């Protein structure tokens, strides 16, 4: 009915079915039929049709005065919304885990703002699971499948956690999985329970007391570099340290379970052109990283 009211308002403004049809990119027959259907639905005649054009009836005048401002305001809001959704200029709010959004993705953020300077990034990093709807974020990077059915989830791939230690550690590096139980270790709270697996698919849960604990994996990384113990860390965080020799891999035949990475956004909310661009650019960036295993 709103569409029919818009056609009626346009015809009244143009005083002509022909001019209204041209303005709305419709046929004259369609405009005439839609106005007639509206009149039938309302049970009254809205427009007098004559060779001299269109003229509002008294009832049509009342409907026009009541609806014209509302229809114009609605059109303006829809136009503004369309511009907001489809423009590559404006704000873009992104949620991400701290130790993925900062560090492994540093080069991505730098390249993104260089290439798209009109997009105003609002990046919110947190190790706690923030509700994307409550924060009114456009899109979120998440570790692990999200239980909410109100979210669209795109799996990007996974990151492998590995065991690492400083080559200058004062303790002997373990040579077997059994030796690992006695070795000093460091962990973040979210990676404190170690479930290790090998290439043959054997699982080895390792429930031990860690010498050092932190709520931030960057602290864990720095303590491992200082030789304080063995850490189970995502490959994304230790790749540079392995390349420079600050860390070495321990028991390379063993690894942690895949850390699956998803992009999520609300099911009922349209992705803006800016969020779609970030999704595509991030997907392409991750495909090029040696520490990331992209989904097929």
- Into which CATH architecture does domain 90-159+259-294 fall? 3-Layer(aba) Sandwich (3.40)
Tokens representing 47 are 């427009």
> Which helix (H) or strand (E) covers residue 124, if one does?
strand 119-125
Name the pTM for this structure. Answer: 0.70
- pLDDT for 146-180, tens place per residue? 776 678 899 999 999 999 999 999 999 999 999 99
Q: What CATH number belongs to 161-256?
A: 3.40.190.290
Q: Can you tell me the distance from the alpha carbon of 249 to that of 163, in angstroms, rounded to the nearest whole number?
A: 6
2-86 adopts what CATH topology? Arc Repressor Mutant, subunit A (1.10.10)
Which regions of the chain carry the CATH code 3.40.190.10? 90-159+259-294
CA 154 to chain centre: 9
As given in the structure block, the two tokens for residue 119 are 């997009």
Q: Give the mean pLDDT of the chain.
A: 87
Reported as a single tens digit per residue, the pLDDT across 218-256 is: 999 999 999 999 999 999 999 999 999 999 999 999 999
The residues of the chain that CATH labels 3.40.190.290 are 161-256
């Amino acid at each position: 009915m709103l569409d029919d009211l818009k056609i009626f308002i346009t015809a009244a403004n143009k005083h002509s079915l022909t001019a209204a049809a041209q303005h709305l990119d419709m046929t004259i027959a369609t405009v005439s039929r839609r106005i007639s259907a509206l009149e039938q639905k309302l049970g009254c005649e809205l427009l007098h049709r004559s060779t001299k054009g269109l003229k509002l009836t008294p009832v049509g005048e009342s409907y026009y005065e009541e609806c014209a401002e509302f229809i114009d305001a609605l059109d303006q809001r829809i136009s503004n919304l369309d511009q907001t959704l489809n423009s590559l200029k404006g704000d873009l709010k992104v949620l991400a885990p701290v130790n993925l959004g900062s560090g492994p993705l540093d080069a991505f953020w730098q390249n993104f703002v260089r290439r798209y300077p009109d997009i105003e990034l609002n990046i919110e990093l947190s190790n706690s699971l923030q509700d994307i709807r409550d924060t009114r974020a456009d899109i979120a990077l998440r570790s692990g499948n999200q239980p909410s059915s109100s979210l669209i989830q795109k799996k990007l791939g996974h990151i492998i956690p590995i065991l690492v230690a400083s080559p200058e550690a004062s303790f002997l590096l373990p040579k077997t999985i059994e030796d690992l139980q006695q070795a000093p270790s460091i962990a973040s709270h979210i990676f404190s329970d170690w479930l290790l697996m090998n290439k043959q698919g054997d699982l080895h849960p390792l429930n031990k007391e860690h010498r050092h604990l932190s709520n931030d994996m960057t602290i864990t990384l720095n303590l491992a570099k200082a030789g304080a113990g063995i850490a189970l860390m995502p490959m994304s965080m230790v790749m540079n340290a392995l390349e420079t020799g600050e860390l070495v891999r321990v028991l390379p035949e063993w690894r942690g379970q895949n850390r699956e990475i998803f992009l999520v956004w609300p099911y009922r909310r349209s992705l803006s052109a800016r969020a779609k661009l970030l999704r595509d650019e991030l997907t392409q960036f991750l495909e090029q990283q040696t520490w990331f295993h992209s989904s097929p």
